Amino acid sequence: MLDKQILHALVNDARIPFTKLGGVLGVSEQTVARRYRALRERGIMHVSGQVNAVPLGHARWILRIKSTPDRALRLAESLSRFPDLSWVTLLSTGSEVTCVSRPRSIERRDALLLHTLPRASQVVDVTAHEVMRHFMADEEWPRYRRLFTADQLRALGPPLNRQEVAGPEVQVDLSGEDEAMLAALGRDGRAPYAQIANEIGSTATKVARRMAELVRAGVLYFDLDFATERMGYGVRGALWLQVRPSDLDAVGRGMATHPEIAFVAATTGPTNVMASIICRDITDLYRYVTESLGAFDGITGLEVTPSLRVLKQAQTLLDSARVSPVR
């Protein structure tokens, strides 16, 4: 149970001091640090700093890319090497790859959507869904909050890793030093301030101050990647829903409360809700579709696409059921 409690604390606040976490859990700082290192070294989880493109004036896209079946895996492997792409997944059809595109400039967006993908010989079709609204969950997956007492939860404090950002009031500009700091946090979201400062030629005080500014602006947030199969979850996939416009907000917010849902958003495109789902097995997936989704009014269409392989998550590659940071 201690490992699960550590994971929840990191989901709640990725940079929580181990001294504080040990006090909340009633164990030593050394015990927390040792268990954390073991989780990382075994490839169970990885903490990374992520860039939210919205305050930078850019959109997030979910791409469905159809390929010739004999070259779909090779396409997915190639896409995994693109720095602007995450959550690269080969679907169970064997001929479709999905990914999330977070381009840091209009030029990089257009290069991918208008040049690179259309010119790839194995690409048959591309559907781009722009994320209009990410429905935030009150508790991020894997939802281990139940393992804490009320006093412990108060001691942990409110979730700090994510916040909803509708759009920039004033667009945030990133300096070269900011980019170097964000790259370091992408490799290790818990890297000490002094280590980052040494890497980018700054000071720990300046790094800490700038990191806090970017978090407040919604540009920087922290995420955890998991080797879900080793945590007992054998089925991952995507749900593509058609929802009546008047019910869109209610369905999205309702799905965000479900323990099986890791991500849900309203999107443009032929379907207007997309969700990532994690279930223990196919029976669990069937129960979710028939019972949880079946309880909603307003859903007029549904496509379920299980994942055959997840090659890249937010900031890690997934191989042999373990996560490894992208270098």
| Count of the separate structural domains present in the chain | 3
Same domain, 204 and 248: no
Query: Rounded to two decimals, what is the model's pTM?
Result: 0.90
Same domain, 109 and 179: no
- Residue 140 has which token pair? 């991020």
Q: What is the pLDDT of residue 162?
A: 60
Whether 163 maps to a domain, the answer reads no
Q: What is the pLDDT of residue 163?
A: 53
Same domain, 59 and 89: yes
Same domain, 198 and 254: no
Same domain, 238 and 205: no
What is d(CA 170, CA 293) in angstroms, rounded to the nearest whole number? 38
Give the residue among 186, 174, 182 at the shortest CA–CA distance from 105: 174
Same domain, 303 and 318: no
Task: Please work out, in degrees rounded to the nearest 5, the angle formed at the alpha carbon of residue 259 by the alpha carbons of 225 and 252.
Answer: 95
Same domain, 321 and 296: no
φ, ψ at 50 (rounded to 5°): -120, 150
Contact indicator for 279, 291 with CB cutoff of 8 Å = no
Strand partners, 123: 67
Q: What is the pLDDT of residue 302?
A: 97
- Residue 129 has which token pair? 């869904």
Please state the three-class secondary structure of the chain as a single string: CHHHHHHHHHHHCCCCCHHHHHHHHCCCHHHHHHHHHHHHHCCCEEEEEEECCHHHCCCCEEEEEEECHHHHHHHHHHHCCCCCEEEEEEECCCCEEEEEECCCCHHHHHHHHHHHHHHCCCEEEEEEEEEEEECCCCCCCCCCHHHCCHHHHHHHCCCCCCCCCCCCCCCCCCCHHHHHHHHHHHHCCCCCHHHHHHHHCCCHHHHHHHHHHHHHCCCEEEEEEECHHHHCCCEEEEEEEEECHHHHHHHHHHHCCCCCEEEEEEECCCCCEEEEEEECCHHHHHHHHHHHHHHCCCEEEEEEEEEEEEEECCCEEEECCEEEECC
Whether 280 maps to a domain, the answer reads yes
Give the residue among 87, 81, 78 at the shortest CA–CA distance from 121: 78
The total of other beta-carbon atoms located within 10 Å of residue 121's CB is: 9
| CATH number, residue 274 | 3.30.70.920
Residue ending a domain, choose from 185, 216, 247: 216
| CATH number, residue 204 | 1.10.10
**Peptide bond before residue 142 is cis, with ω within 30 degrees of 0:** yes
Query: Which range of residues forms the domain containing residue 77?
Result: 54-133+314-325
Whether 5 maps to a domain, the answer reads no
What is d(CA 228, CA 213) in angstroms, rounded to the nearest whole number? 32
Whether 123 maps to a domain, the answer reads yes
Below-70 pLDDT ranges, the chain = 161-171, 320, 327
Q: What is the pLDDT of residue 106?
A: 84
Task: Please work out, in degrees rounded to the nearest 5, the angle formed at the alpha carbon of residue 18 by the alpha carbons of 14 and 19.
Answer: 140
What is d(CA 309, CA 229) in angstroms, rounded to the nearest whole number? 11
Read off the amino acid at residue 109: R
Whether 295 maps to a domain, the answer reads yes
Whether 140 maps to a domain, the answer reads no
Whether 21 maps to a domain, the answer reads no
What is d(CA 73, CA 76) in angstroms, rounded to the nearest whole number? 5
Whether 242 maps to a domain, the answer reads yes
| Predicted confidence (pLDDT) per residue in 269-306, tens digit | 999 999 999 999 999 999 999 999 999 999 999 999 99
